[in-house]
Amino acid sequence: MRVVFHQISKRFGPVRAVDDVSLTIEEGEFFTLLGPSGCGKTTLLRLVAGFYQPDAGEIRFGDRRVNEVPPHKRETGMVFQSYALFPHLSVYENVAYGLKARKVPAAEIRRRIGAILGGVQLEGLEDRAPSQLSGGQQQRVALARALVISPQILLMDEPLSNLDARLRVSMREEIRRIQKDLGITTIYVTHDQEEAMAVSDRLAILNKGKVEQIGTPPEIYYRPHSRFAAEFMGGNNILEFTVTGRDAKGGALLAEAHGQSVRVKTDKDRGPGQKIALALRPEWIVLDDDPDATGENRLSGTVISSSFLGSIARYSVAGLGGQVLTIEVHDPEKRGLRKNGDTVRFRFGADRPVVLEV
């Protein structure tokens, strides 16, 4: 089922929780709403479910406007952060609850529950109470209860936040597998960037009720549009420069910060004297200690902290007038470990930095 938000807004008193959001989620897509607490992602999910009504705009499932359709008629299944399992009911009875409410015949209920419990690997646990299950098993019961009613849209609100780190990894893989097997349109809410990238076909970063960027995980990871998106995705170095002009061919910006110059390939129009912010991932930077080397984008700085992490060494380097950037070096033993206080030279390709919208 295709889901369309058109200029959706929702207020709670003076707070605009969702602010003029327009986006389209394609049929069968795993789409994630990602952002910090209070950005509007859960409000948007609850608008889809029908728990809230928008103050402005339109929500469509396929060709049908659903603004006024009550939650139980929207054909959505919801997995809550707390799982919301009935403690006095068995696994079987929890999963059967929605089917009984829809007056599905008993034989059909047994058939569907048998199939869905097999799909989420809970066979043999039908008679257990939720208190007798692990966190991962409880999460699968909640998922089975949402899926057994054959919803056209699956909604998931921070479903892994109550699990430990190792179980979160295995369960997100399981959720992704089940979603692809069923081909069901899924809208997933999380504040965890790694989780979002692991499960999503596409994702939207939200900030203060507005959409900052929509794209595939690689698009947002490698090409953030805004400073907020770059910082929220984590790991990006954000470096500030002043534009001095363009190169002779006009295909790259020339910029300077505290006596050190860079060349950046971009189609964005920035004039001399304008301030720019560049996003540069740590793995794009190469240490190069040859003082006689030539070429573009060769800078220097001082190591202020270092972390040996086995396969990589991570350095914090102060340069460019005190701006601190992170550099990651793979196979650090071969390349030599650096100490605090060492002066290092480093370089990066002109096509690597992303000029951000500030």
140-155 pLDDT, tens digit each: 898 888 888 888 999 9
pLDDT for the residue numbered 291: 64
CATH number at residue 24: 3.40.50.300
| 237 in Cβ contact with 325 (< 8 Å) | yes
Which residue, of 192, 224, 256, is where some domain finishes? 224
The helix/strand/coil state of 334 is helix
pLDDT single digits (tens) 18-50 = 999 999 999 999 999 999 999 999 999 999 999
Q: At what angle do helices 135-147 and 106-119 cross, to 10 degrees?
A: 130
Average of per-residue pLDDT values in the chain: 90
CATH number at residue 347: 2.40.50.100
**For residue 13, pLDDT beyond 70:** yes
In a domain, residue 152? The reply is yes
Which residue, of 224, 246, 261, is where some domain finishes? 224
In a domain, residue 321? The reply is yes
Confidence of residue 250 (pLDDT cuts 50, 70, 90): low
Q: Could you tell me the pTM of the whole model? A: 0.87
| 335 in Cβ contact with 325 (< 8 Å) | no
In a domain, residue 167? The reply is yes
- Looking at the fold, whether 124 and 216 belong to one and the same domain comes out as yes
In a domain, residue 129? The reply is yes
E-strand ranges in 195-348 read 202-207, 210-215, 237-246, 252-257, 260-265, 275-280, 286-287, 298-308, 312-319, 323-330, 343-347
Confidence of residue 358 (pLDDT cuts 50, 70, 90): low
- Looking at the fold, whether 11 and 112 belong to one and the same domain comes out as yes
Q: What is the mean pLDDT of residues 235-244?
A: 92
Q: How many domains does the chain have?
A: 2
pLDDT for the residue numbered 23: 96
| 283 in Cβ contact with 346 (< 8 Å) | no
The helix/strand/coil state of 261 is strand
Q: What is the mean pLDDT of residues 304-328?
A: 91
AA identity, residue 21? V
- Looking at the fold, whether 246 and 207 belong to one and the same domain comes out as no
Cβ atoms within 10 Å of 46's Cβ, excluding its own: 20
Range of the domain at 336: 235-355
Confidence of residue 244 (pLDDT cuts 50, 70, 90): very high
